[in-house]
């Protein structure tokens, strides 16, 4: 059973060129780490098509056209669909899962609004999540119970039950849950439904305002609405409001998102109304 992912539609060579990775690649742990780093460094996290009124399509053909051919970014479902397809085409065993973002309130759990990926390589399992925005730089060893550093950041995978897990990040000496997930098989139709909710529900954080993020080894940069934040691994942060005349330059130069003047003007209008 394929699960409806249609991975044969992927132009693997075009994807590898998009992320600046050599086309000769094998399903090894070293290749997985290199692909993950290259993807995160090349394809930004952004929800701008929702704000522009276009909506989000999560079938592989649409995702490939947007993220690869048009060199745009996307949010978790788009990244997850594309990266998992590329890994499977290369020969990795891949498991796709939905996750609940945020804390650990078992009385009022959040909906499953994030897609993550687990890959097998080198006789080990790896959390390979390129689509969280403020998440991993490299795959995280799934069966390593201790903290794992990535640049200046520290993460861990903590067991929350027999087949339940949490991705946690250490911030200012405290462990903060990024999301939790269960080992339940995911189908393409499940992503269509989750994406519809996340991209249209009026209380979704991705509806009505730009959300853009990019993490590297030394900083996490985020634009939410008109507020730009730069966070560092030591917990320090800088925050400022983005002027209307600098929005396009910020998206292009800091987040590597190519937009037309008309698209920037529309985003500026939406941000002004939301603010």
- Active-site positions read 76, 114, 129
Residue 159: count other Cβ atoms within 10 Å of its Cβ: 10
Residues 6 or more apart in contact with residue 221 via CB below 8 angstroms: 213, 214, 215, 228, 229, 230, 231, 254, 255
d(CA 38, CA 193): 29
Given a contact cutoff of 8 angstroms between Cβ atoms, the answer to whether 177 and 167 are in contact is yes
d(CA 86, CA 92): 9
Paired sense of beta strands 220-224 and 227-231, if any = antiparallel
Place of tokens 């891949």: 94
Place of tokens 């690869």: 68
d(CA 216, CA 270): 28
d(CA 62, CA 247): 26
Given a contact cutoff of 8 angstroms between Cβ atoms, the answer to whether 97 and 182 are in contact is yes
């Amino acid at each position: 059973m394929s699960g409806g992912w249609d991975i044969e539609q992927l132009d693997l060579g075009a994807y590898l060129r998009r992320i600046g990775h050599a086309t000769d690649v094998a399903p090894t742990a070293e290749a997985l780490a290199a692909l993950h780093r290259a993807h995160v460094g090349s394809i930004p996290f952004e929800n701008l098509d929702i704000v522009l009124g276009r909506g989000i399509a999560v079938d592989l053909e649409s995702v490939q056209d947007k993220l690869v051919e048009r060199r745009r970014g996307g949010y978790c479902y788009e990244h997850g669909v594309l990266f998992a397809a590329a890994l499977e085409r290369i020969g990795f065993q891949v498991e796709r899962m939905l996750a609940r973002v945020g804390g650990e309130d078992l009385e009022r759990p959040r909906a499953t609004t994030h897609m993550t990926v687990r890959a097998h390589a080198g006789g080990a399992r790896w959390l390979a999540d390129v689509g969280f925005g403020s998440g991993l730089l490299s795959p995280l060893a799934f069966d390593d119970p201790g903290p794992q550093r990535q640049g200046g950041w520290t993460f861990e995978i903590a067991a929350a039950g027999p087949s339940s897990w949490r991705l946690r990040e250490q911030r200012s000496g405290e462990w903060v849950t990024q999301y939790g997930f269960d080992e339940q098989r995911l189908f393409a139709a499940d992503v269509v439904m989750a994406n519809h909710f996340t991209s249209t529900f009026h209380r979704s954080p991705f509806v009505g305002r730009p959300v853009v993020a990019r993490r590297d080894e030394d900083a996490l940069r985020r634009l939410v609405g008109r507020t730009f934040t730069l966070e560092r691994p030591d917990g320090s942060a800088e925050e400022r409001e983005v002027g209307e005349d600098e929005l396009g330059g910020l998206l292009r130069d800091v987040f590597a998102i190519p937009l037309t003047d008309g698209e920037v003007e529309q985003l500026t209008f939406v941000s002004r109304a939301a603010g």
